């Protein structure tokens, strides 16, 4: 059966509506159903979802021709260096701070994969961790240190090591 809207793709969504005792049936394909605002519960893999999200952002950026938004995909977490582009490929994040750093991009994705929910219910650790303000800075320095050692820039490495120690 073909979709009754586009008459091209095959209909996979079959909807029966009863309005004022009047029964009507519609047969739609996924795309047309989505355009009509029907929610379709399907299990879209996270990486696919993430890619759609990213490409729509890039589209927006190129439409508005604003380099600041285009740069969003280069935006790296200061703590772990993760970018959204890299995340879209795996899709795994690099550290707990990514959830804060990329909050606006991740939240819609989180809601989509958890049936609209975005607030935890259930177990809470008895001892919640004190937020360590130095942690992010320390990790940034640590990554710079790794890079310096790899490049055999031992002078810079020594400086970075001192800075890390001063923070601890």
Partner 1 sequence: MRPADLCNYPSSWFSGGSNAVSDIVISSRIRLARNVAGYEFLPCLSVERQQQLHDRLKEVLLSIDLGEKVWCVDIDHASDVERNLLTERHLISRRHAKGKGPRSVVLAGDESFTAMINEEDHLRMQAYAAGLDLDACWGRLGRIDDLIEEKIDYAFDRQLGYLTACPTNLGTGLRVSVMLHLPALKMTGQIEKFITAAHDCDMAVRGLFGEGTDAIGDFFQLSNQITLGSSEQQIIETFSSIIVPKIIAYETEARKSLLGKKPHALDDKIQRALGVLRNAHLISSQEALFLLSNVRLGVNLGRVKDINIATVNELFMLTQPAHLQLRAGKILDADQRDTLRAEIIRTRLSSN
Binding residues vs partner 1 (CB under 8 A): 41-43, 46, 79-82, 90-96, 99, 106, 109-110, 113-115, 117-129, 132, 135, 139, 142, 146
- Quote the least distance from Cβ 158 to partner 1, whole Å: 18
- Quote the least distance from Cβ 6 to partner 1, whole Å: 24
Q: How far is CA 46 from the centre of its chain?
A: 9
Nearer to partner 1, 62 or 90 (CB): 90
C-alpha–C-alpha distance, residues 103 and 33, integer Å: 29
- Quote the least distance from Cβ 102 to partner 1, whole Å: 10
Nearer to partner 1, 6 or 99 (CB): 99
- Quote the least distance from Cβ 27 to partner 1, whole Å: 18
24 forms bridges with which residues in the sheet? 17
Nearer to partner 1, 113 or 163 (CB): 113
C-alpha–C-alpha distance, residues 159 and 168, integer Å: 15
C-alpha–C-alpha distance, residues 53 and 68, integer Å: 17
Of the candidates 32, 24, 47, the one whose C-alpha atom is nearest the C-alpha of residue 2 is 32
């Amino acid at each position: 059966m073909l979709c009754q809207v586009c008459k091209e793709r095959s209909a996979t969504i079959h909807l029966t509506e009863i309005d004022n005792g009047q029964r009507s049936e519609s047969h739609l394909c996924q795309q047309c159903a989505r355009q009509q605002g029907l929610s379709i519960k399907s299990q879209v893999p996270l990486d696919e979802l993430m890619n759609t999200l990213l490409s729509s952002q890039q589209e927006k950026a190129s439409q508005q021709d604003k380099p600041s938004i285009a740069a969003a995909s280069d935006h790296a977490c200061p703590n772990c260096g993760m970018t959204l582009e890299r995340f879209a490929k795996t899709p795994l994040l690099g550290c707990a701070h990514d959830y804060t750093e990329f909050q606006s991009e991740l939240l819609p994705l989180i809601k989509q994969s958890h049936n609209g929910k975005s607030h935890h219910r259930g177990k809470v650790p008895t001892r919640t961790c004190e937020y360590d303000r130095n942690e992010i800075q320390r990790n940034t320095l640590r990554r710079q240190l790794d890079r310096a050692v790899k490049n055999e820039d031992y002078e810079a490495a020594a400086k970075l090591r001192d800075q890390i120690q001063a923070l601890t």
